[in-house]
Amino acid sequence: MRIAVDGMGGDLAPRAIVEGVVAALAPSPEKPREPLEILLVGDPEVMKTNLDSLTKLPTPEIRIIPAREVITMSDPPTAGLRKKPNSSIRVGIDLITKGEADAFFSAGNSGAVMATASLILKRPPGVDRPALAGLLPTKGGSAVVIDLGANVDCRPSQLYQFAIMGSGFCRIAQGKENPRVGLLNNGEEDEKGNNLSQQTHQLLKASSLNYMGFIEGQDIFNGRADVVVCDGFIGNVVLKSAEGLAGNIQNFLKDQIKSHPARMLGYLLLRGAYANLRKKIDYRRQGGAPLLGVNGVVIIGHGRSDALAVKNGIYLSARLAAQKLPEWIAQELKAIPLEPPPLDGNSSKDLETPSLQ
């Protein structure tokens, strides 16, 4: 399995990226069974210097692919297509189109990854925009949340498409035959929500998806739905809020334990439970979020990805490539009509799926 890795993207790049690549090739029970080959994309001198400082052993599983331009977090999403055609993001995604890589992982500019992947790899017929799908922990396991930040402004027809792709991904990632789909809203009553929520609600009610209706923020974590649909603005706020809360819960617990000697004894007895909790809420364990709706496996990691997150992002890339994620999603899109079902009234005209440019 050949995984292209953006060696220059992310807040901790290139060091953390290269460390993660080396860690991914080391023996591990989580490592995919199929042999891994890493195509490390970036400035050759920088990549080689970091590799040499980490290991003195030959690394035939790592091949450096030259890319001397870097798309920064402040660059526009189209930078990889116009201003920086030799960027690590553009070169890495091109490797998929050439058949030299089975997947691409980047912790860099997510907007640039999405724009480049969308236009270079293309989208399945009828898909207006790709979307990021991630797993958030729930009481009974995890829930797929889509979109996590790829699309800030959405139309009802696009959220409808996200629901179809998220349902398909849930089947692949979690093996659930008939995933429960919920639409994130500011209330579960039918009359609640803004115009976007109301119109999307009607589309999903008329679809063949296992639609549960509106859900609220707390329902994400209590496991009421297997797939949570929202626009990227809301999804990203939910994701960052969950990450911040998870980190602060650990700090709150530490402060409380240290404040009283007797509590230290209780901590020793519950140490294993606390360790399991840390793993469950640690975003690094997932590694990244797949970009659904493009003809290739593209994983976008957290901007603060360290070596552990990069390693797991590579593993996720390999697993989804082995499972042929794009083919599964394409089948899901064919099984459920992408053209939203017609609605009664004048609003139906506003809900037509926009044509692809």
Quick check: 86 and 68 in contact, CB under 8 A?
A: yes
- Please give the tally of structural domains in the chain: 2
Domain co-membership, 142 together with 276? yes
Question: What are 48-102's pLDDT values in tens digits?
Answer: 999 999 987 778 899 999 999 999 989 998 988 889 999 999 999 999 999 999 9
Domain co-membership, 146 together with 182? yes
Cα 131 from Cα 148, distance rounded (Å)? 7
Domain co-membership, 32 together with 104? yes
DSSP 227-295: EEE--HHHHHHHHHHHHHHHHHHHHHHHHHHHT-HHHHHHHHHTHHHHHHHHHHH-GGGT--EEEESSS
Domain co-membership, 113 together with 138? no
pLDDT at 337: 66
Cα 245 off chain centre by = 19
CATH number at residue 307: 3.40.718.10
**pLDDT grade, residue 253 (50/70/90)?**
confident
Q: Is the pLDDT of residue 323 over 80?
A: yes
pLDDT at 354: 35
Quick check: 152 and 233 in contact, CB under 8 A?
A: yes
Domain co-membership, 311 together with 229? no
Domain co-membership, 102 together with 146? no
Neighbours of 322 (CB within 10 A): 15
Q: Is the pLDDT of residue 4 over 90?
A: yes
Domain co-membership, 165 together with 259? yes
Enclosing domain of residue 27: 1-122+294-323
**pLDDT grade, residue 342 (50/70/90)?**
low
Q: Which of 25-34, 228-237, 340-349 has the lowest mean pLDDT?
A: 340-349
Cα–Cα distance list, 172 to 32, 118, 235 (Å) = 16, 22, 21
* Strand, helix or coil for residue 309: helix
Question: What are 257-313's pLDDT values in tens digits?
Answer: 778 777 777 767 666 766 666 666 677 888 999 999 999 999 999 999 999 999 999
Mean pLDDT of 147-164: 93
State which of 251, 283, 315 marks the end of a domain.
283
State which of 260, 283, 306 marks the end of a domain.
283
pLDDT at 349: 40
Q: Is the pLDDT of residue 202 over 50?
A: yes
Domain co-membership, 144 together with 106? no
Domain co-membership, 180 together with 260? yes
Domain co-membership, 218 together with 258? yes
Domain co-membership, 312 together with 272? no
Residue 13 inside a domain? The answer is: yes
